[in-house]
Amino acid sequence: MSVFVVEDDKDTRRFVAWLLTSRTSHEVYCFESAEEALPALHLREPNLLLTDLGLPGLSGEELAQVARRLPNPPRIVLMSGDRGRLQEARSVSTAVLPKPFSMAELMLIVEQSMEES
């Protein structure tokens, strides 16, 4: 299974990628913007899209809306430190992950999201 991680913060992106590659057998692809992820989204059709809401340019919510229209839409997990915005965007996602999050919280949400696919 493949996972797209879209996060503009380099440290968070590296942490999530490291955790997923070290603890799962999923293929993990990282992008620092929605604009960078869009072409790959159409080519690879990931099983899970893990995206920050507050991306510069195209937002994580807008990226999620595009992903939901794919022929085989991925499960979508939205991340943000803005809990209000996270709840508002909940309708375009499978799950939400408030920042900051622990390794255990991330792994649990990924496992639950992948089980649903």
Residue pointed to by tokens 């503009």: 8
Query: For residue range 58-104, what is the model confidence (pLDDT) as tens digits?
Result: 999 999 999 999 999 999 999 999 999 999 999 999 999 999 999 99
**pTM of the complete model:** 0.94
Nearest to 78 by CA among 52, 103, 106: 52
pLDDT at 117: 53
| H or E element in which residue 2 lies | strand 2-6
**Start-end of H helices in the chain:** 10-23, 34-44, 60-68, 83-88, 103-115
Cα–chain-centroid distance for residue 110?
9
CATH code for the structural domain at 2-115 = 3.40.50.2300
Query: For residue range 7-40, what is the model confidence (pLDDT) as tens digits?
Result: 999 999 999 999 999 999 999 999 999 999 999 9
